[in-house]
Amino acid sequence: MPTFDQITDVLSRQAIELPSWAFGNSGTRFKVFGTPGTPRTVQEKIADAATVHRFTGLAPTVALHIPWDAVDDYAALRRHAEDQGVSLGTINSNTFQDDIYKFGSLTHRDDAVRKQAIDHHLACIDVMDATGSRDLKIWLADGTNYPGQGDLRGRQDRLAESLAVIYDRLGPEQRLVLEYKFFEPAFYHTDVPDWGTSYAQVSALGDRAMVCLDTGHHAPGTNIEFIVMQLLRLGKLGSFDFNSRFYADDDLIVGAADPFQLFRILVEVVRGGGMEPGSPVAFMLDQCHNVEAKIPGQIRSVLNVQEATAKALLVDTAALARAQEDGDVLAANGILMDAFWTDVRADLAAWRETRGLPADPMAAYAASGYQQQIESERVGGQQAGWGA
């Protein structure tokens, strides 16, 4: 097994983008609970995200969601972020909250609706130009609730056409990542339900179109690390949306539901070159903190990814290859589990301190007074949520 010192180089490269919306309120169709201190503005969201980075050193960028985070002056927003010590990252489009999109957006059979959805994405690319963002992430709520409601084939063809228009508008350093999702909010069919569909669509576009893998968007039992392996192999894994789930798209804290799965995913990321310098893989959180505190929830999340990455890097790959070659199933599995069961927390804590970071970011945040400060300062106004 490598020593901890041998893996810190890679660990020091790790960067996990935070979603601005994780700091706003979220919930279920039954209830969205508010909490004291919740941001009212994108600037406050960025301040919270920067706080996570300050305590962890892991989260140097913030993803924006348009229109939730739309502002008049993106250059100013960019400076605001940089003043806080972070950068603006992926731009996420939204074609699921206007009444016009009730029956689809980029797949809609009405040319006018489709044009509006395309134009929204072109406007998002304008934002990217202003923020310096590399990635446009497209997650579509498009789908149907009843068999017969839509023409699956026609919708797929129109999706291809719409994406081509958007892709053509990208700058040479910009990328499009297409997310897939098994179901929800559509309950019969989803227009991009699986990695195969996303892969087929982005392959038709070109080299700068890639797949976004959200760890909560699969059928029960799906072997997600296999998909990670396959997309890396095919050169089409553009980004991760990390979260975890017991049931559907629960959007729980990454690693909370099945920490062994997160470890296996990171083992395949490492195996496939996803942690190497210049790797095209972007790492991002996409979670909901429905009942837990938001800022510590994000801190916990990036730490979970860091711990799982450390364990993945500790796998004794030479010994593993030998056991695999020998057909020694128990030995091979045991080598993997040795890394998983190794408690990396003390080593990580000590290493953090060498980098000027708190050994225990959760405790340090709790002791910092930041939470009390925002709870007392952020009074009045409209707490941010998915609607605004």
Give, as ranges, the residues between 78 and 107 that touch a copy of itself (CB under 8 A): 96-97, 99, 102-103
Q: Which segment (2-10, 43-51, 229-237, 369-377) binds a copy of itself by CB under 8 A?
A: 229-237
* Binding of a copy of itself by 325 (CB under 8 A): yes
For a copy of itself, the closer of residues 126 and 338 by Cβ is: 338
* Binding of a copy of itself by 2 (CB under 8 A): no
Rounded least distance, CB 173 to a copy of itself, Å: 27
For a copy of itself, the closer of residues 61 and 201 by Cβ is: 201
Residue 13, judged by CB atoms within 10 A of its CB (0-12, 13-18, 19+), counts as exposed
* Binding of a copy of itself by 332 (CB under 8 A): yes
* Binding of a copy of itself by 275 (CB under 8 A): no
Q: Measure the CA–CA gap between 46 and 44, rounded to whole angstroms.
A: 5
Site string for a copy of itself, 8-37 (x = CB under 8 A): ------------------xxxxxxxxx---
Site for a copy of itself, residues 147 to 176, rule: CB under 8 A: 147-153, 156-157
Taking CB under 8 A as the criterion, the residue among 54, 114, 134, 245 binding a copy of itself is 245
Rounded least distance, CB 343 to a copy of itself, Å: 4
Q: Which segment (55-63, 114-122, 224-232, 278-286) binds a copy of itself by CB under 8 A?
A: 224-232
Closest CA to 190 of 105, 74, 296: 105
* Binding of a copy of itself by 324 (CB under 8 A): yes
Under 8 Å between Cβ of 240 and 272? no
* Binding of a copy of itself by 330 (CB under 8 A): yes
Q: Which segment (61-69, 72-80, 117-125, 286-294) binds a copy of itself by CB under 8 A?
A: 286-294
Q: Measure the CA–CA gap between 295 and 318, rounded to whole angstroms.
A: 39
Site for a copy of itself, residues 113 to 132, rule: CB under 8 A: none
Q: Which helix (H) or strand (E) holds 283?
A: strand 282-285
Q: Measure the CA–CA gap between 259 and 265, rounded to whole angstroms.
A: 10
Residues in the chain: 388
Q: Is the peptide bond before 277 cis (omega within 30 degrees of 0)?
A: no
Q: Which segment (16-24, 124-132, 219-227, 373-381) binds a copy of itself by CB under 8 A?
A: 219-227
Torsions phi, psi of 238, nearest 5? -90, -40
Taking CB under 8 A as the criterion, the residue among 40, 122, 188, 280 binding a copy of itself is 188
Rounded least distance, CB 283 to a copy of itself, Å: 19
Q: Which segment (40-48, 67-75, 246-254, 277-285) binds a copy of itself by CB under 8 A?
A: 246-254
For a copy of itself, the closer of residues 74 and 195 by Cβ is: 195
Q: Measure the CA–CA gap between 144 and 149, rounded to whole angstroms.
A: 6
Closest CA to 385 of 165, 161, 57, 68: 68
Q: Measure the CA–CA gap between 216 and 246, rounded to whole angstroms.
A: 9
Rounded least distance, CB 134 to a copy of itself, Å: 25
**CA angle 281-285-286, nearest 5°?**
120
Q: Measure the CA–CA gap between 188 and 182, rounded to whole angstroms.
A: 10
Taking CB under 8 A as the criterion, the residue among 75, 76, 318, 321 binding a copy of itself is 321
> Three-class SS of residue 46?
helix
Q: How many CB atoms lie within 10 A of CB 161?
A: 12
Question: What is the C-alpha end-to-end distance of the chain, expressed in Å?
Answer: 49
* Binding of a copy of itself by 4 (CB under 8 A): no
Rounded least distance, CB 109 to a copy of itself, Å: 6
Under 8 Å between Cβ of 198 and 180? yes
Strand 135-138 versus strand 87-92 pairing type? parallel
**Residues linked to residue 62 through DSSP beta bridges, in sequence order:** 18, 88
Rounded least distance, CB 196 to a copy of itself, Å: 3
* Binding of a copy of itself by 185 (CB under 8 A): yes
